[in-house]
Structure 1
């Protein structure tokens, strides 16, 4: 990094990231193109990917993503950060191999419960079981216990998940039709073999297009991978560099959008586990320091909303009311804009139900 690298302040980083996340203005993209551009949507629960796209796309309807899932053009699979993501079929077959080293490291957490277990044999047996017919994790554990009765059942199931690219078959993941989790391999479900893992360099470029400008640690946080510095260094001649206000080096694509920091950012309602809030080591570009931790309770995340581009509170649907709970005081204009955005979100996601909108007390 040269000493003359320009500094990007928090608002500049915020507006650049919002633009690439399709949150500065809604994009005229189909659901498949958006899921691909965003490198997947975190999907610990079934509904978040649908709400994530509703916030980002013009003309989106839940059946658009549901149809992709039913047609096997999109799938739910464990990838980045050992969490379930909704990916396009193409990304499922490439990004999962990319993060496989992290899944192998994850196996080390369960070694005690896997004493005497041949992991290659386990993977081969698990593959046969789930490709014969989709299995729930309970069914898979029970079948593996027949072979290794002294092993820890949970460890056996997690080992299968780490070793194999297991996708959740439909109807799991379909809008308002979701069933229990049943698993088979990505190759079997999609009818084609996995691709070779993409070079980290290719994924660095895609990450910057969706989340940049960003540091090496930012991308490592997003991917759950380590040792990505070499890829950034190889790409340095093709990239531009900046510094944040703490002096951290940030990389970016030369022609990527970096809007004026004063560009208006409309309010947006986001689902729990939205990748906007999870994909940087330094989250202050979206999360004000005084609100750190307020969007989480234990291992559960709240649904959140943005005001002026930054995390500003949480929301929930309670019976037939959208309850908006700000972290701080909202102006009258901000409440009016949030109400309008809430009405739009409800019309997209729940067109057949009438909801009231209520502002709750300030949370702290």
Structure 2
């Protein structure tokens, strides 16, 4: 039975195995609800960033598009001000990739994910750094960036003065992965440009690293933002390994379901699980949006047949459109001679209502991203 608001009745905790199978659409709607993609929410920007456990930030403007898709009346300055006021930072975290997170989340998350950073370093540069003492690399690199914030290129050259036999790229990577570094403004500020210049999070925020990792808290927060989920889903999002035991320890306070393949899905008892037929309006997601990257099975939002058209061989995740809650195409914004053009490439033909809704949402996107330009929305023929 469904609650009147379209969400299943809440369950109490205590190791409840409902035996219920959640089909693909139920999992999709749960994800959309927690990602604020069923309807825009009215939240302070910092609260939204924390609810989402940060935002992918490989592309400087990606977090702005992510928040525009999720929040009512979001303006770019709302996020830019957080970065300038040191209330939010850009740093390597989940999967050793760049994220934008709140200042209060930065050090606790980095402490819990430090093993991910170290494993990534070993996999990419282990041979190049063979024989070097990680503690010495970290201490010297920290002193350099705290004395003078640096690009990775500058950092690598300065590190090589001490370790001339090692490659600059490997030395800079060692500092990035062993020391919690943050990118400083103007990098990541809407409408501004600048190189990625780094210093330590401790120096920038005036904080110390959390003493103990808290994997169980990380799992709870993941489920609140991305659940229901398997242990493999949490691992795919975070980069952590061996999470099955931690999930089992949490089992008494969680509820469990099954996916169509029969795998156990863990969830918070009071998290939203909307009905499968809950409407989902068209949405525009920016590059590297978290919803596409946070499950072992990306099919809950990105159909397998479209994956290669969204996720490129060189690691780019393109900006996408959602139709009925699923990725159904890509989009690109270009500017020329005072005109901003939004070009939408559906993967299949769209219905007239979906085209109309997408065109209206696209006009809003142009108003947000290119307010001082004239606008044009182009929807190409699906499948072309």
Give the TM-score range, shorter chain. Answer: over 0.9
Aligned pairs for 1:97-112 within 5 A: 97-109=111-123, 110-112=125-127
SS in 1 for 2:127: helix
Matched, 1:73 2:93: no
8 Å Cα contact 2:18/2:256 also seen in 1: no
Paired residue for 1:20? 34
Deviations 1:162-195 (A, max 9, x none): 1000100111111111311111000100112122
Equivalent position SS for 1:6: strand
Instruction: Give me the TM-score of the superposition, normalised by structure 2.
Output: 0.92
1:142 corresponds to 2:157: yes
Number of positions where the alignment pairs a residue of Structure 1 with one of Structure 2:
364
| Deviation by residue 1:315-337 (Cα, 9 ceiling, x = unmatched) | 00122210000001100000000
**2:382 is equivalent to residue 362 of structure 1:** yes
Structure 1 residues 249 and 314: alpha-carbon distance in aligned structure 2, compared to 1, 3 A threshold = same
Which consecutive unaligned segments of at least 5 residues does structure 1 have?
Answer: none
User: Superposed, which structure 2 residues align to 1:1-364 within 5 Å?
Assistant: 5-109=19-123, 110-298=125-313, 299-319=315-335, 320-363=340-383
Cα RMSD, aligned residues only: 1.4
Taking structure 1 as the reference length, the TM-score comes to: 0.97
1:257-290 deviation digits (Å, cap 9, x = unpaired):
1111101001110011001000000111101222
Note the C-alpha offset of 1:152: 1.7
Equivalents in 1 of 2:52, 2:211: separation in Å?
A: 21
Contact 2:159 2:171 in 1 (8 A): yes
Structure 2 residue matching 1:76: 3-state secondary structure:
strand
**Structure 2: tracts of 5 or more residues without a match:** 1-14
> Which has the larger displacement, 312-321 or 61-70?
312-321
Give the corresponding residue for 2:12: none
Measured in 2, the distance between the counterparts of 1:16 and 1:78 equals 27
Residues 277 and 287 in structure 1, CA contact (< 8 A), matched pair in contact too: yes
Question: Secondary structure at the residue paired with 1:128?
Answer: helix
Partner Cα distance (2:17, 2:158) in 1: 60
Post-superposition shift, 1:37? 0.3
Q: 2:305, 2:116 → 1: CA distance?
A: 32
CA distance in 1, matches of 2:212, 2:283: 35
CA 1:233 to 1:51, structure 2 compared with 1: closer, same or farther past 3 Å? same
